[in-house]
C-alpha cells in the first residue's frame, strides 16, 4: 500500500492510502475478462450484478468481454457503516428468469460471504444451467460462511476499503482506485 494520505475530492474523510491503483485494476480486469471469455466461449451468459457496489466493476468488465451476454441486477442490503449486520435483505429481484441460463454473478467484494451465499441460493432455486461467481475483491480472512469463488480479481486483507464503486455510507464510490478507509 502506498503511504500517501489523500483527501480525495475534498469529500471530508481521509483515505489512508491507495491499496490498488487504477492502472492495476484495469490490467486485472482485462485478465479476468479473457479468462471468462475463454470459459464461456460460444455460450450466452447472463451477468447478474449485485447493486450498488458492483456497477463500476461491471461496466469495465463488460467492455473487455468477447462473448455474448446480457445483464441483470439484484439489490441487497446487509451493511451499516463498515460492519456487516449478517442479515441479508433482497431489496430488488432480478428481472430475467435464470432457469436454463448460464448465470455469472458479478460482485464488488466478498467479505463474510453472507450476501453472495444468499443471492447464490436464491438463483440456484430457479434452476440455472450453470452458476458461477466473479468478484473484484476477496477478503478471504473475513469469511464466516464458505462460498466458492470462480473468478477473483484481488485477494485483500481484512480492512475496510472504498472507491471504484465501493462506498462508506454511500460515499467515495467515484474514486478511480481502491483506497483504505481510515
Q: Return residues touching ligand IMP (CB under 6 A).
A: 50, 53, 78-79, 84, 107-115, 160-162, 166
Cα separation, 105 vs 134, whole angstroms:
6
Residue 160: name its binding partner from ligand IMP, Mg ion, none (Cβ under 5 to 8 Å by kind).
ligand IMP
Q: Which residues contact 17 (CB under 8 A, 6 or more apart)?
A: 1, 2, 3, 4, 5, 6, 179, 180
Which residues share a beta bridge with 171?
A: 168
**Site stretch for Mg ion (CB under 5 A), options 12-20, 26-34, 51-59, 148-156:** 51-59
Instruction: Quote the longest CA-to-CA distance of the chain.
Output: 49
Which span sits near Mg ion by CB under 5 A: 24-32, 48-56, 89-97, 149-157?
A: 48-56
Q: Is 113 in the site for Mg ion (CB under 5 A)?
A: no
**In degrees to the nearest 10, what's the CA dihedral of 106, 154, 143, 82?**
-80
**111 included as an active-site residue:** yes
In the bound state with ligand IMP, the residue whose beta carbon lies nearer, of 45 and 50, is: 50
Pick the closer one to ligand IMP by CB: 89 or 127. 89
> Can you list the positions of beta strands (E) in the chain?
15-20, 44-51, 68-80, 83-92, 102-110, 130-138, 151-155, 161-162, 178-181
* Residue 138 partner contact from ligand IMP, Mg ion, none using kind-dependent CB cut-offs of 5 to 8 Å: none
Binding span for Mg ion by CB under 5 A among 46-54, 92-100, 125-133, 140-148: 46-54
Q: In terms of CB distance, is 40 or 60 closer to Mg ion?
A: 60
Site size with Mg ion, rule: CB under 5 A: 1
Is residue 160 within 8 Å of residue 178, measured between CB atoms? no
Is 53 a binder of Mg ion (CB under 5 A)?
A: yes
Q: To the nearest whole angstrom, how small is the minimum distance from the Cβ of residue 21 to ligand IMP?
A: 17
Give the full edge-to-edge strand order of the sheet including 15-20: 15-20, 178-181, 161-162
Determine which one of 60, 108, 111, 138 is catalytic: 111
Cα radius of gyration rounded to whole Å, the chain: 16
Residues that bind Mg ion (CB under 5 A): 53
Catalytic residues: 111
Amino acid at each position: 500500500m502506498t503511504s500517501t494520505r489523500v483527501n480525495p475530492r475534498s469529500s471530508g474523510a481521509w483515505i489512508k492510502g491507495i491499496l490498488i491503483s487504477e492502472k492495476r485494476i484495469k490490467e486485472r480486469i482485462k485478465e479476468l475478462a479473457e479468462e471468462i471469455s475463454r470459459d464461456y466461449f460460444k455460450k450466452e451468459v447472463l451477468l447478474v450484478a449485485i447493486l450498488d457496489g458492483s456497477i463500476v466493476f461491471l461496466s469495465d468488465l463488460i467492455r473487455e468481454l468477447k462473448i455474448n451476454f446480457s445483464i441483470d441486477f439484484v439489490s441487497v442490503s446487509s451493511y451499516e457503516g463498515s460492519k456487516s449486520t449478517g442479515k441479508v435483505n433482497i431489496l430488488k429481484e432480478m428481472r430475467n428468469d435464470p432457469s436454463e441460463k448460464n448465470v455469472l454473478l458479478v460482485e464488488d467484494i466478498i467479505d463474510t460471504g453472507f450476501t453472495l451465499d444468499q443471492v447464490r441460493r436464491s438463483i440456484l432455486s430457479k434452476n440455472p444451467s450453470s452458476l458461477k461467481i466473479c468478484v473484484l475483491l476477496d477478503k478471504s480472512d473475513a469469511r464466516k460462511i464458505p462460498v466458492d469463488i470462480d473468478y477473483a480479481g484481488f485477494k485483500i486483507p481484512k480492512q475496510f476499503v472504498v472507491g471504484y464503486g465501493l462506498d462508506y455510507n454511500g460515499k467515495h464510490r467515484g474514486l478511480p482506485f481502491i483506497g483504505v478507509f481510515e
